[in-house]
Structure 1
């Protein structure tokens, strides 16, 4: 197995272990068990659980960038709608909800861990800049109204993140879909020149 394959295997195992154990209960042994590797191998690559999780967050950011790249040929309207819909957690997606709950636990540690804080700031910046770049493109193409881009992007991210946080912490299965639907409706009025553009879920 190549070093890249080993890295991917460990990242996949970290994802699975986080879903099962949450951040607080997660151990290096849990990750080793999911990866089918020895704990000593993990410690060869990562001194501590925190070091491994910093790398895992970097891995998530890389995955997100790859996912965004897939939509680059779509219209700004479709790209923005797709971005918003990524935040919807369906009632049957228990594993996905568990994973985001674990990430929320991890985020709470950022106040005490500068490495976590740095990666989470990078994540927030990436999300906001992704939305901002879509809005700028739409303005340039004449399909979005000329708005203040950065404040609107920040509002969109805060709204989506808040909806997801409430769904996973309050054990409600409707929060993200309801908020995303209302957000899209609001954007069709305040941002989309053609207000008839609709979400791909319809």
Structure 2
């Protein structure tokens, strides 16, 4: 089932890029997978079940991509995380936009579909955990300001990244702007001795 599942997931990806979420049918996916519709239904009873499996497939890929970001210091690792989220490895820009558009449509189903919502929440929870772990490491190593609330900082970064991805799809906003601003936040607010750090008052000895 593993090879068949991977083939179907790749076919689902291509079908979403071509047709979008709203117009996507099981026949579209079957055509991309070079299967009969009956053969596709052998693995998945419904489009909803298939898309929930597809989100799990994407989650596995996402966690592989953003886990253990490169960098010698916590600020470097945070910048690497930002890049990994904003610039997923897709060769074709049109394909990236088409897929993100379909995924945004899928996200819109979250309020109405518990299965989809639960799977979407996994992405944010995992990313917050990764960011929080890097910040904690930085505080311990002395590269991230110990006065920072790790939970607040992690939540802000993840919310900003999610918003940047949505803006890129909805209004064509260049993610480079979000990258610059998040880099400024990491380097100027989180990093010890960053340019935005308030001078510390020195009390009497």
Q: Unpaired segments of 5 or more residues in structure 2?
A: 196-205
Select the structure with the greater relative contact order (CA < 8 A; seq sep ≥ 6).
Answer: 1
Q: Which residue of 2 aligns with 1:68?
A: 66
Aligned length: 191
Q: Which residue of 2 aligns with 1:16?
A: 14
The one-character-per-residue Cα deviations of 1:163-197 (angstroms, maximum 9, x if unpaired) are: 2211211134x2x111111111122011112549x
Q: Output the TM-score relative to the length of structure 2.
A: 0.86
What CA distance in whole angstroms lies between the structure 2 residues aligned with 1:50 and 1:17? 15
Q: How much has 1:89 moved relative to structure 2?
A: 5.1
Q: Which residue of 1 aligns with 2:101?
A: 101
Q: Output the TM-score relative to the length of structure 1.
A: 0.87
For the 8 Å contact 2:131–2:154, the answer to whether it is kept is yes
**CA 88–69 in structure 1, closer or farther in 2 if over 3 Å, else same:** closer
Q: Which has the larger radius of gyration?
A: 2
Q: Which residue of 1 aligns with 2:159?
A: 158
1:42 aligns with 2:40: yes
Give the SS at the match of 1:47.
coil
Q: Which residue of 2 aligns with 1:169?
A: 170
What CA distance in whole angstroms lies between the structure 2 residues aligned with 1:128 and 1:103? 20
Q: How much has 1:47 moved relative to structure 2?
A: 1.0
**CA 104–8 in structure 1, closer or farther in 2 if over 3 Å, else same:** same
Which sits farther off after the overlay, 64-73 or 19-28? 64-73
Q: How much has 1:135 moved relative to structure 2?
A: 1.1
For the 8 Å contact 1:17–1:26, the answer to whether it is kept is yes
1:183 aligns with 2:182: yes
Q: Which residue of 2 aligns with 1:143?
A: 143
What CA distance in whole angstroms lies between the structure 2 residues aligned with 1:72 and 1:89? 15
Q: How much has 1:73 moved relative to structure 2?
A: 7.2
* Paired residues for 1:18-33 under 5 Å: 18-33=16-31
Q: How much has 1:159 moved relative to structure 2?
A: 0.9
Q: Unpaired segments of 5 or more residues in structure 1?
A: 197-202
CA RMSD in angstroms, aligned pairs only: 2.0
